[in-house]
Amino acid sequence: MCGHGTIGLMATLRHLGIVDRGVHRIGTPVGLVTASFTSNRRVAVENVSSYRLRRDVVLEVPEYGQVIGDIAWGGNWFFLVKNSQEELCVSNADHLTKVTKRIMKTLEIEGIGGSDGPIDHVELFTQPQNPVNHSRNFVLCPGGAYDRSPCGTGTSAKLACLAADGLLAPGEIWRQEGILGTVFSGSFRNDEESESIIPTIEGEAYICGEAELILDSDDPFKMGIPS
């Protein structure tokens, strides 16, 4: 599951005239989600059931120090660092990437993962730059790239932790600021079938280009480079 990808998908489908108003069902590798437009560019995505697996996991990271975080599922497995003192800004992205990669590597070495697979995202949190928001984050994604958005699945995992700690009530809004200063609004309802939550993430997407692929029948690699 990918929150910002789903928001972008909905914006693209609307641009193409395929969808418009109403609730749309989208199949993902981790389950069914629904999405709807709340304004011209703004999309709300009700995510898969999310929950916290472990609280306050202490990790000694070589050449960095001790970090404390929660392990939570929001459509991906996250390690959410609670005691970060880093400056979360784009100019610091290279350093933040190195730090979160070290945390990820330490999780792998220590054999710390989710209930059904490895942790594939590491998320740092600090105070927001804009006081109308609740938190600011930096998210390391699989492959070593960082998320330019506030991360939909990461925000879902954060909501699950807040709900488990009694710090956020059903329907209450949490404004999650990303490294670029963009914001996802998150809220949740309780999952009636479990102790998990059903999060809803709302954000904006903009169409920035169209491309046309030309497949030459004589091109031996017209369908891409085989793996």
Tell me how many degrees the CA angle 34-209-183 measures, rounded to the nearest 5: 50
Instruction: Give the separation between CA 150 and CA 156, rounded to whole angstroms.
Output: 11
Q: What percent of the residues of the chain are helix, what percent strand, and what percent coil, each to the nearest 5?
A: 20, 35, 45
Q: In this structure, what are the phi and psi dihedrals at residue 52, rounded to the nearest 5 degrees?
A: -95, 130
Query: Which sequence positions are flagged as catalytic?
Result: 2, 151
Nearest to 67 by CA among 79, 75, 59: 59
Instruction: Give the separation between CA 192 and CA 184, rounded to whole angstroms.
Output: 25
Residue type present at position 17: G
> What is the edge-to-edge ordering of all strands in the sheet holding 31-37?
24-28, 31-37, 42-46, 197-204, 183-190, 174-177, 135-140, 121-126, 77-81, 65-73, 51-61
224 Cβ contact partners less than 8 Å away, ≥ 6 residues apart = none
